[in-house]
Amino acid sequence: MEFGLCGVNLSLQPQLQTMKKPCWGLFFLILMVSCLDEPDCFQLKNNIIGITFRVIGTGQADSTLLKGIGTPPANIFRPSFSAILNYFENQVDLLLQGEKKDNYLSLGYTVKNQYVSEECGSRFVLSDLTVVDHDFDSVRIVNGKPAPVEGGTNVEIYRCPHADSITIDFSLLSVTSNGISIQNRSSKNISHGFTKVTDSVGNELFSGRAATLHLPVSLSKEQSTYIFTTAEGQDTLTVGYRLTTEHRYRPCGIQTFVDELRIINHTFDSLSFGLNKDEEQQRTLADPHQTNVRIYDCPQIQLNLLKVNFESSEGTSKNVLIKGVRADHFTGNLLAAPATVATLNLPVDLESDISTFYIEYEDKTDTLSVSYTRTPATLFSSCEPKLLIQELSLNKELPTATVISTARSLQYPPVTNVEIITD
C-alpha cells in the first residue's frame, strides 16, 4: 500500500474546523495550553496516537509507503506513523492518498479539562479513542488513550492478504581450502542482472537486477513455469502447488490460497526451500512475503592457482617487470600487457601432473616446471567436484626458485607456494 496524508506540507495533522465558542472561552483554553508548553509540564500532554499497518491473517507489519512525509515531503517505507489530535475537537479525519486510490479514517475521542498545579495550570486529557468511519479492509483500536510521545500503537489498520506470489532468493555458494580439504562452506545473497524473466507463455514478469524476486503464480492451474534470461543464457524453474479457494477472512470475501509448493524441475546449479521462523520449509505462499525457494550458484573459485613471489637476495619482496607468461597447457600470454608485479598467480594444468611455465623478463626467460598430485574433492553435493593440487615439487632445476615447505598444497585463497629470487 502507498499512502500520503492530506494537510499542510502533507504532514500528519488533523483538520481544524471552525469553532463556535465565546472569545473569552477560547482565550482561557489557549492560555491553559500555553502553560503546558513549559518544559516541566510537557509530559502532561497526551495528544499523540500511533497508527500501524498490518496484514489480515498473520497480523504481521505491512510494508507501507507513506507519501509526502517530512520536510521536504518524501516517500518513506514505514510500518506505522503518528498523528496529532486537536485538543479543541473530538474527531480527527485523516485522508491517506494512495497511488491507485485514496483511503480515509475518522477517529473520535473525548477531551476533559483537568487542573494540575499552579505552575502547570490545567491540562487536557484525551481518551476513549474510537473508530467513527473508514474504508479500509479492517481497523481496530488497541489502545484508546493517546500518549504524550511517539512510539506506541493505538490503531491498527489491516488489509486483506494477497498470497499469490512466489518469493525466490538468489545466493552464491562459497568455500575455502587449506589444500588438504574443503572448508568453510557458506552462502551469501547475490544479485543477478536479468534481461527478462517470463512465464511459460512469454509474459514478462521482471527485468533488471535483483537478489530477490516476487513472481506471480498461475491461479488457473496448479503449476507455473518461469524462464530466467541473463547475458550468460537461460534457466528454467517449474513449480507445482495446491490451490484452495475459500472465504477465510470476513472482510476479504472469497480468495485463492496457495500451499504444498513442490519443485517439478529446474536447470539451476542447486536450490532448496526457504525456511520459516520455526525452521520448517516455507511451502505456503505468504503475505508479507517469505522466501519460498533459494537458488544457489556453485562457487566460482580456482583451486589450481600456484602463487609465485619475487624476492631480492636479502629476502624482501621485489617488483619485477614481466613481459609475459606462457605455458604448454594454455594458449597465448597470461598477461594482457607487460606489468611490474611482486606476485603472480599461475593456473596449473588440471589435465596433467606436470605444469611448465615460461616467465619472460626484459632480458631473459625463466622456465618454471612443477609436479603435483591431483585429488578430487566435493565442494557441495550438487556441484561438480574440484581437484585439490597437492605434494608440489620443482620438476626442473631453476636455481633461483624454491618451494615453500609448508605450502606444498595449493590453497584457496592462494598463499605463496614458490619464491623466485631476482637481482
Judging by beta carbons within 10 Å of its beta carbon (0-12, 13-18, 19+), is residue 60 exposed, middle or buried? middle
Give the C-alpha separation, 273 to 168, whole Å.
Answer: 9
Q: Are 187 and 296 in contact (CB under 8 A)?
A: yes
Closest to 111 in 3D by CA, of 24, 23, 16, 29: 29
- Structure confidence by residue, pLDDT tens digits, 115-124: 777 777 778 8
Helices (H) and strands (E) in the chain, counts: 1, 30
Give the C-alpha separation, 221 to 52, whole Å.
Answer: 36
Closest to 258 in 3D by CA, of 278, 241, 279: 241
Closest to 257 in 3D by CA, of 375, 336, 162: 162
| Ramachandran bin of 208, using left for φ above 0, alpha for ψ from -120 to 50, beta for the remaining angles | left
Q: What is the predicted pLDDT for the residue at 22?
A: 41
Q: Using 70 as the pLDDT threshold, list the residues of the chain that sit under it.
A: 1-44, 68-74, 99
Give the C-alpha separation, 6 to 169, whole Å.
Answer: 37
Closest to 416 in 3D by CA, of 341, 383, 278, 406: 406
Q: What is the predicted pLDDT for the residue at 15?
A: 38
Q: What is the predicted pLDDT for the residue at 30?
A: 46
Q: What is the predicted pLDDT for the residue at 9?
A: 32
**For the chain, how far is it from start to end, CA to CA, in angstroms?**
70
Judging by beta carbons within 10 Å of its beta carbon (0-12, 13-18, 19+), is residue 36 exposed, middle or buried? buried
Q: Are 221 and 212 in contact (CB under 8 A)?
A: no
Cα dist. 352→328, 329, 330, 349, 376 in Å? 11, 9, 12, 6, 14
